[in-house]
Amino acid sequence: MEQKKPLTCLIIGETPSTQFLGWRLSLSNTFVLLTSQYVSVDGLVAWKSTKLGANFYTPNIFTKDLNELGEKLLVTSPEGVTKCKYDIDIIVVSAISIERFEDYCTDLVSFSNKNTIVLVSSDFGCELEPFALKVFGDSCKCVLSILCEVECRQLSLGSYALVNDDHCCIYLGVSYSSKTYSHNQKMIVNANYVNTSLFDNNTSMAKFVNFLQMTKWISIQEMSQESSMALKIWECLIPKIALNILTVIYEQFDYDILLETKNTETIFQDLVKELFTICKAQCHQVVPVFCRTDDVTGDQIDFDKIVTYNKKKKRELINTTANEHPEYLSLPFEPYCFFHKFEYPAHILLYQPIVLANRYKVECSNVNFLFGFYSRLLSLSGLSINGGHHKRPTSLTIESNFHSLETEVKMSDVREEHHDNFDTSTGEVVGGNGVDLNLPSDLKKLYLTAENMGQTSQGEGSKLNKGEEKQDRPLCDFKQDPELPKDSKVSLLNSLLEFNCNDFNDTSIVKIHRARSQGRFAHNLDSSLVPYFNKQTPSKRSNDAVQAFEAQLRRHYHEQLATEYRSLYTQLMHPDSPTQLELNDLKRQHLSIESQLWRMNRRFNEFQGTVARPLRNRAYEDLLRHVEILNRANAGDVLMFTTSRYGEADTYQRLKQDEEKILELFKKR
């Protein structure tokens, strides 16, 4: 019997959904060529699913980029004509950004032929076919969109999870309107061919559909009606832009709480109105799913339906994901990728509506602002909306904090810094009225730093340029400066820890000289670090704060401080010991908790195998131990365990049926 020719499919797998297509096609009579930067160099792709279990596959040919693919596939004939080794039947294109999508289309022309069908991934953008059709020209048979309504998540490099395999729908069709491109004959011919003859029997597209439908729970719909494909894409895009992106910005994943605030509700509604306007300009109608049923015109937006749409998808994720920690698989796709720093086509999602708005001459100020704001948010997290890491250096705020830190930790001579309060002739400290304070040496140093507490020093290497004003900032705020080097944090903490109650005595409040000799003590301490110091913020630089501190010192507050700190230290280090009678009463009160603690400790040791377990259920002990091993290796039952590559495992179903009986056996242990 003559073997049928396999379907040759080239996939640019930049998104989990296109990776999903490669996985399912690899199980059929398909020669899969995969190009993706999100798979390791060995080409091994791992998938996890509740219905299909753990599965691994390697494409027939794998490359990290198109340049490497060209080295493997493109050959030059003696006549100088470059041609691909294989006749590519299907090309699936996905990209992180519009710019990269255009580059991919330009490079893929070398691999296509007149019978190649180009599928453009439209999970994050509508009307992407015109550019692809312009680039490919006569080098392909037709261009259409593919929308995969599949909940896939990238776990790591080359590892993916299908977190909801109860709802897997794939839509195929043209996402542009022929009425809009009535002047472009090629666009009209392409749309007519896709809507009439593309899915006939024995075509490459028919094989593609049949191979995907071999997985029974995958449904495929051919959108042949005018604008039906575009409306379906907008139905998926509007909730992603108007809700999911807002949940990332506000870090609030409960939609009801997010929209409680009038500000966020207004932003949400304005975004929806603009997206509806763009959709109507492109498709000449709006998404009917999100419109009010009682409206005569059918154009009235029902904002609650959009929220309900997202809530339904969220419930489905929660129901199919038993334990979300640590992967947070139940989060929507966009927040999941953002907080795990996985790249996804955010540029296409937010910028393509702006392109369409400009093309159809409609307003898009809210979407434009959202695009700029989200781009900035990504750059602050170290990523670029165009893909890859953000090349911009550390933010100016963090750089200024670093500069301030370096400025404040540099030591300068006390006499040069405080010549107004230091009499060079006598070597004594004088107050604002010129009276000698006659303080001990350590208090002199603390007194001299009081005037500039909380202000930036002007020691060596820290002088400000002319016209620059000093900024009153704390010594170091770790909440504001999370990126400080580890050594800086440690040295500053060591310096601050010099305030120890043992250092307070009749002649010294703080042993500053010890920290200064080690070069670890910032010269200008924040006034909040000094006990009983009444910080004042005068409008002009004056000696009011110094005089207030001077008055406190003259009233012998330092002696009172030493006594209070010494008493507090004694209470902390040597608390009153309870009597034996009190201990017995306390033990009787917590006797039941203590017995529970011992039982839990015993069970833990039995679980770890350090203590032998009494075999009360000897006949079922092997079964219970097997269930424990399965549960321990199954990440909290996130995925159904299976030993089969296809279908559900009988073992799992039987254990589910006898779940109550098995739990009773566990209790009898």
Tell me the three state secondary structure of residue 521.
coil
Predicted local distance difference test score (pLDDT) of residue 114? 92
Are the CB atoms for 170 and 212 separated by under 8 Å? yes
Q: d(Cα 68, Cα 283) in Å, to the nearest integer?
A: 39
Domains of the chain: 7-225 (3.40.50.720), 231-380 (1.10.1040), 413-573 (no CATH), 584-667 (no CATH)
Are the CB atoms for 565 and 504 separated by under 8 Å? yes
Predicted local distance difference test score (pLDDT) of residue 269? 94
Q: d(Cα 398, Cα 452) in Å, to the nearest integer?
A: 23
- Cα separation of the two ends of the chain: 61
Are the CB atoms for 35 and 69 separated by under 8 Å? yes
Predicted local distance difference test score (pLDDT) of residue 593? 81
The residue with tokens 């294109």 is 93
Q: d(Cα 269, Cα 623) in Å, to the nearest integer?
A: 56
Given its phi and psi angles, is residue 94 left (phi above 0), alpha (psi -120 to 50 degrees) or beta? beta
H-helix segments, 262-330: 262-283, 303-320
SS3 readout for 555-603: CCHHHHHHHHHHHHHHHHHCCCCCCHHHHHHHHHHCHHHHHHHHHHHHH
Q: d(Cα 635, Cα 425) in Å, to the nearest integer?
A: 76
Cα distances (Å, whole numbers) of residue 417 to 459, 488, 518, 562: 7, 24, 20, 29
Q: Which own/partner pairs from 286-290 qualify as long-range (CB within 8 Å, at least 24 positions apart)?
A: 287/231, 287/234, 287/235, 287/238, 288/231, 289/235, 290/235, 290/238
Mean pLDDT, consecutive 10-residue stretches, the chain (669 aa), reads 78 94 92 94 89 86 93 87 91 95 94 94 94 91 94 91 86 91 90 86 89 89 90 95 94 91 93 94 91 73 93 85 64 90 93 94 93 91 82 48 46 42 48 49 53 43 41 40 42 40 39 42 39 41 56 57 62 66 79 80 74 63 69 51 50 69 72
Predicted local distance difference test score (pLDDT) of residue 481? 43
Let me know the angle formed at the C-alpha of 211 by 70 and 176, rounded to the nearest 5 degrees.
Answer: 70
**Could you give the dihedral angle defined by the CA atoms of residues 34, 35, 41 and 44, in that order, rounded to the nearest 10 degrees?**
-30
Fill in the amino acid letter for 71. E
Q: Which own/partner pairs from 625-629 qualify as long-range (CB within 8 Å, at least 24 positions apart)?
A: 627/655, 627/662
pTM of the model: 0.61
H-helix segments, 634-669: 650-657, 659-667
Cα distances (Å, whole numbers) of residue 138 to 80, 208, 402, 443, 639: 20, 22, 58, 88, 46
Q: Which two tokens stand for residue 445?
A: 């140093």
Cα distances (Å, whole numbers) of residue 376 to 223, 365, 481, 560: 37, 17, 19, 53
The residue with tokens 């309504």 is 149
Q: Give the strand pairing for 30-35 and 7-12.
A: parallel
Predicted local distance difference test score (pLDDT) of residue 406? 47
Are the CB atoms for 567 and 486 separated by under 8 Å? no
Tell me the three state secondary structure of residue 512.
helix
289 CB neighbour count, 10 Å cutoff: 14
Predicted local distance difference test score (pLDDT) of residue 224? 87
Q: Give the strand pairing for 53-57 and 61-63.
A: unpaired
- 535: burial class by Cβ within 10 Å (0-12, 13-18, 19+)? middle
* CA-wise closest residue to 473 among 521, 510, 525, 516: 525
Let me know the angle formed at the C-alpha of 576 by 574 and 578, rounded to the nearest 5 degrees.
Answer: 135
Predicted local distance difference test score (pLDDT) of residue 457? 39
Q: d(Cα 131, Cα 583) in Å, to the nearest integer?
A: 81
Q: Which two tokens stand for residue 521?
A: 């003590």
H-helix segments, 160-258: 185-196, 204-212, 228-239, 245-250, 255-258
Predicted local distance difference test score (pLDDT) of residue 539? 42
Are the CB atoms for 146 and 223 separated by under 8 Å? no
Q: Could you tell me which residues are beta bridge partners of residue 33?
A: 10, 61
